Amino acid sequence: MKEIFPKLYYKSKELFFEDVPLKDVAEREGTPTYVYSKGALQYWFEEFDSAFNEVSHTTCFAVKSNSNIQVLKVLRELGAGADTVSVGEIFRALTAGIDPKKIVFAGVGKREDELTYALERGILMVNVESEGELLLLNKVGEKLKRRAPFAIRVNPDVNPKTHPYISTGLKSAKFGVTFDRALELYKKAKELRWLNPVGVHFHIGSQITDVSAFREAAEKVAEFVKEIRSFGIEIEYFDAGGGLGINYHPDERVVPAKELAEEIVPIVKELDCHLILEPGRRIAGNAGVLLTRVLYVKKREEKTFYIVDAGMNDLSRLALYNAYHHILPLEEKKEETVVADVVGPICETGDILAKERELPVLKEGDLLAILSAGAYGFTMASNYNSRPRPPEVLIDGDKFRVIREREKLGDLISREEVL
């Protein structure tokens, strides 16, 4: 048995997730199909969450990374809360049975109806990102006659050394406010009857593999907490966000969560705060794959294309971020390889799933698994080119079930006026 990622391995030349040959899923449900492993979700959640056991903490799963209700239920059973960025994500978290007191609400553009929904359901806190939002939150609190628990999202101006589109803690980013501005907002909140400052929040980016960036940010924010407290504002929650990276290639080193804990736990201990963490990709990324089938093999001079039935509408990270996703055949091939592009059916030149990748020699009908697709896969999928979105499947031991059905053609027009 040759393990690729936890719970994903070759046995007798077949690719298994837990105790299920992925070929069985593809044959029953067709392709493209998203497949998640309950065992892998548990492995990655416990690897992360247990690293912070020295301090009081809540691991709030970033719903934007994978919002399927059954995935959220698996994580809820393990003790997870939810990091949400829309009213829809709060709705999903509550539907999955997650305790409202384990739900935080972030995002730079919250509407009044979203803030109302969040406060009515008694979530833990709203992570505020501007003065306008703070004043609106006070207004909503007054309307509901309840004090609104909140944290200010500060921007620590730390370079996380990741893709610029997922760097959120720099001054140039739209997220958060400066320390000086945040202090003014906390002081203003003391004067407003319907606001309850309970925490401070920061988030520096995603897919971060240099944990020293987290320490730098945490140290800055900890000093800020001490300053706030000097004005009589008691901060209970220290929300350090998420962003710890995964290995997209099986041969890459994955940074252990305990290394992140070693950087920030001592800081939180000194403050005597309850730590909030918001991992998403770290838990779900390598707990999922996208299955696809080779439709055609197109050969040109010095160029081979494997044309598959999954496209950029199914997995958009590759087109958005020029991201790397490892690709494996469901049936282990002989040593012979070819350098090829794996491309999808979308009418875009940028619909490339792998460029100039050394891959086994494949034929039409061969089945492939695109790895690390459990986070920001289905949640970013679209109906571009009027393509129905794939189903989602959950494996549990030697069994699997569909947890979201494949969309049908009728679903594409179900909300349109048809004359």
Write the pLDDT tens digit of every residue in 298-346: 998 888 999 999 999 999 998 888 899 999 999 998 779 999 999 999 9
CATH 2.40.37.10 fits 2-37+285-412, yes or no: yes
Is 321 annotated in a binding site? The answer is yes
Given a cut of 90, whether residue 195 has pLDDT beyond it is: yes
pLDDT of residue 157: 79
26-51: pLDDT as tens digits: 999 999 999 999 999 999 999 999 99
Alpha-carbon distances, residue 294 vs 32, 86, 320, 368 (angstroms): 11, 37, 23, 8
Q: Are 101 and 125 in contact (CB under 8 A)?
A: no
Given a cut of 60, whether residue 168 has pLDDT beyond it is: no
366-406: pLDDT as tens digits: 999 999 999 999 999 999 999 999 999 999 999 999 999 99
Compute the average pLDDT of residues 160-185: 68
Please, which pLDDT band fits residue 149 given cuts at 50, 70 and 90? very high
Task: Identify residue 155 by its one-letter amino acid code.
Answer: N
Is 387 annotated in a binding site? The answer is no
pLDDT of residue 170: 47
What's the chain look like in SS3?
CEEEECCEEEECCEEEECCEEHHHHHHHHCCCEEEEEHHHHHHHHHHHHHHHCCCCEEEEEEHHHCCCHHHHHHHHHCCCEEEECCHHHHHHHHHCCCCHHHEEECCCCCCHHHHHHHHHCCCCEEEECCHHHHHHHHHHHHHHCCCEEEEEEECCCCCCCCCHHHECCCCCCCCCECHHHHHHHHHHHHHCCCEEEEEEECCCECCECCCHHHHHHHHHHHHHHHHHHCCCCCCCEEECCCCECCCCCCCCCCCCHHHHHHHHHHHHHHHCCEEEECCCHHHHHHHEEEEEEEEEEEEECCEEEEEECCCCCCCCHHHHHCCCCCEEECECCCCCEEEEEEECCCCCCCCEEEEEEEEECCCCCCEEEECCCCCCCHHHCCCHHHCCCCCEEEEECCEEEEEECCCCHHHHCCCCCCC
pLDDT of residue 167: 45
Q: Are 229 and 197 in contact (CB under 8 A)?
A: no
Greater pLDDT, 108 or 2: 108
Q: Is 347 a catalytic residue?
A: yes
Compute the average pLDDT of residues 153-174: 61
Is 243 annotated in a binding site? The answer is yes
Is 280 annotated in a binding site? The answer is yes
pLDDT of residue 156: 87
Is 278 annotated in a binding site? The answer is yes
> Domain boundaries in the chain?
2-37+285-412, 106-279
pLDDT of residue 205: 86
pLDDT of residue 215: 92
pLDDT of residue 173: 66
Distance, CA of 253 to CA of 251 (rounded, Å): 7
Nearest one of 327, 331, 360 to 343, comparing CA atoms: 327
112-133: pLDDT as tens digits: 999 999 999 999 999 999 999 9
Beta bridge mates, 58: 276
Choosing from 1, 347, 418, 419, the catalytic residue is: 347
What's the CA dihedral at 202, 204, 205, 206 to 10 degrees? -70
- Report the chain's mean pLDDT, rounded to a whole number: 94
Given a cut of 70, whether residue 172 has pLDDT beyond it is: no
Compute the average pLDDT of residues 334-360: 94
Of the options 2.30.30.90, 3.40.50.2300, 3.40.1350.10, 3.20.20.10, the CATH number for the domain spanning 106-279: 3.20.20.10
